[in-house]
Each structure stands twice: as C-alpha cells, then as structure tokens.
C-alpha cells in the first residue's frame, strides 16, 4: 500500500464505490485503479488529483505532494528496473516533451514524462560503475540526500570496480566496488583512486611532507611507493567499499 493508494481507497470506500465504478467515472480501467491503490502504478500528479477529485475528495488535491509522499506512493522494488532503463535514455527534445504532455486525459501513462519519475530522479541517482580503463560496465541506484551523495554532487560520483587484490591487506578485494567522490588533493589516511606511471588503482595515502606522499598497498605483503605530488593524479576518495557475498 502507498500514501496515495491509501488515500484513494479510503475515499472510495467512504463514497461506497467499487474500483470498477471509480474507473468508469475517471475513464480508466479497473486494473489501473487497483494498481494505483496497491502502490504498484506510477501516475502523473495531475491524474492523481483528477481521480481524487472525481470521487469527491477536495482536500489535498491542489497542494503538491512532498518528496516523501511521492516516494511512498510506489513500490521501489518494481519501479527501479524501469527507472534504470529510463535514466539511460537521452532526454527528449523540448518539442517531444511538449507533445508527450498533450495526451488525452484518462489515458494510462507509464513512468516516462510523469512527475513521479522527476521526483524519483531527485531522490535516486543511477551511478555508473567503471572498470580500470574507466569503461562503464554496470550501474547502481543510490539515494540522494539533501542534493548530495556522500557530500558530493550526484553527477560527480561513480563506482570503481577493483581490478585486483593489491589492497586486500586493507580488506579491499578484486571485484569489490569502491564509491569514489571527487578529490584532487591527497587526503592523509584515506584510500584514494590515483593515477601514476600509466597505472590507475586504489592506494592508501600517507603524507610524507608538503610535496611528497606515500602510496600504500598490501597484497601478500605490505608495500609502499614514495612519489612527489607532480607524479600523481588524484581522482577521488573511496567513500565506501561494497562487496557481494558468494
């Protein structure tokens, strides 16, 4: 059940109407109304207000729903695969958006172009997964909190697929995912994604002095390379490491 579904069902029962009667009154199918009540159907906000108004509810139909209300109106387990596909698509040209917005009232709409997808875009981000040559190989959906992911702009973060076991002494193994947030300067004690000697990898950082850092790794044994700052490109900081259980 969802916030919108609860509201619709409560008002429908108060009016002593069946889903079929509501559907006929609103010009949609009975299955459409049932899906909205169950929270498994995403609909535009104007359609939601129109249905509620048709069955007699006048309160809460003119005010915007909050992001929390919107997020609670859908079953994200069902929405996420469709949302992921939509986020991969390029944005349609302005003219196409205008045409899409002129659908006849009462026709069923999917996620594309609805305020629900726009709202979900503002609370979820399709974060790419890059391999060692920075080729996108996958993606993960992450929540956006106060407009940020781990304190960074959502479009600046990405996952790095760990290519080897050179950091397993620091509990980071091959095929783990490191969430990288931008950082162009060394952060003492942090695990960072760095580039040096045509090599891109995760390393633990130790500041030696103002112009020198130590890049630490730990495969079967501890190792460290000391380099001057101009020899290294700092891509970002590993905010967290994710792994999949076998």
Residue 109's domain comprises 3-122
Q: Which of 122, 156, 182 is the last residue in one of the domains?
A: 122
Structural contact between residues 115 and 45, judged by C-beta atoms closer than 8 angstroms: yes
Q: What is the DSSP string of 74-107?
A: S-HHHHHHHHHHHHHSPPPPHHHHHHHTTPPTT-
Question: In whole angstroms, what is the distance from residue 114 CA to residue 81 CA?
Answer: 16
Q: Is 183 part of a structural domain of the chain?
A: yes
Q: Is 105 in the same domain as 177?
A: no
Provide the CATH number for the domain around residue 236.
2.10.109.10
Q: Is 26 part of a structural domain of the chain?
A: yes
Q: Is 32 in the same domain as 96?
A: yes
Structural contact between residues 200 and 134, judged by C-beta atoms closer than 8 angstroms: yes
Q: Is 128 part of a structural domain of the chain?
A: no
Q: Is 62 in the same domain as 163?
A: no
Q: Is 216 in the same domain as 109?
A: no
Burial class of residue 157 in the structure, from the number of CB atoms within 10 Å of its CB (0-12 exposed, 13-18 middle, 19+ buried): buried
Span 17-26, pLDDT tens digits:
898 998 888 8
Question: In whole angstroms, what is the distance from residue 216 CA to residue 170 CA?
Answer: 10
The set of residues, in sequence order, having a beta carbon less than 8 Å from that of 144 and lying 6+ positions away, is 122, 123, 124, 125, 154
More confident residue, 65 or 129: 129
The number of folded domains in the chain is 2
Q: Is 130 part of a structural domain of the chain?
A: no
Span 133-191, pLDDT tens digits:
999 999 998 888 888 999 999 999 999 999 999 999 999 999 999 999 999 999 999 99
pTM of the model: 0.56
């Amino acid at each position: 059940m969802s916030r919108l579904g609860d509201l619709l069902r409560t008002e429908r029962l108060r009016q002593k109407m069946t889903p079929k009667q509501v559907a006929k009154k609103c010009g949609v199918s009975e299955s459409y109304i049932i899906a909205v009540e169950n929270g498994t159907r995403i609909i535009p906000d104007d359609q939601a207000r129109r249905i509620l108004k048709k069955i007699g509810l006048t309160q809460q139909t003119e005010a915007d729903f909050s992001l929390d209300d919107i997020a609670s109106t859908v079953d994200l387990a069902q929405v996420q695969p469709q949302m992921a596909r939509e986020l991969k698509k390029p944005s349609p040209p302005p003219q196409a958006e205008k045409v899409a917005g002129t659908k006849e009232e009462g026709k069923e709409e999917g996620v594309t172009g609805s305020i629900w997808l726009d709202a979900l875009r503002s609370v979820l981000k399709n974060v790419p997964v890059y391999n060692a040559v920075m080729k996108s190989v996958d993606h993960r959906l992450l929540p956006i909190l106060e407009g940020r992911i781990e304190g960074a702009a959502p479009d600046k973060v990405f996952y790095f697929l760990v290519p080897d076991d050179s950091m397993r002494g620091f509990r980071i193994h091959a095929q783990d995912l490191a969430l990288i947030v931008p950082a162009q300067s060394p952060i003492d004690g942090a695990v960072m994604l760095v580039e040096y000697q045509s090599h891109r990898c995760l390393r633990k950082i130790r500041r030696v002095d103002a112009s020198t850092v130590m890049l630490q790794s730990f495969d079967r044994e501890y190792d460290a390379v000391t380099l001057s700052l101009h020899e290294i490109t700092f891509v970002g900081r590993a905010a967290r490491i994710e792994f999949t259980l076998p």
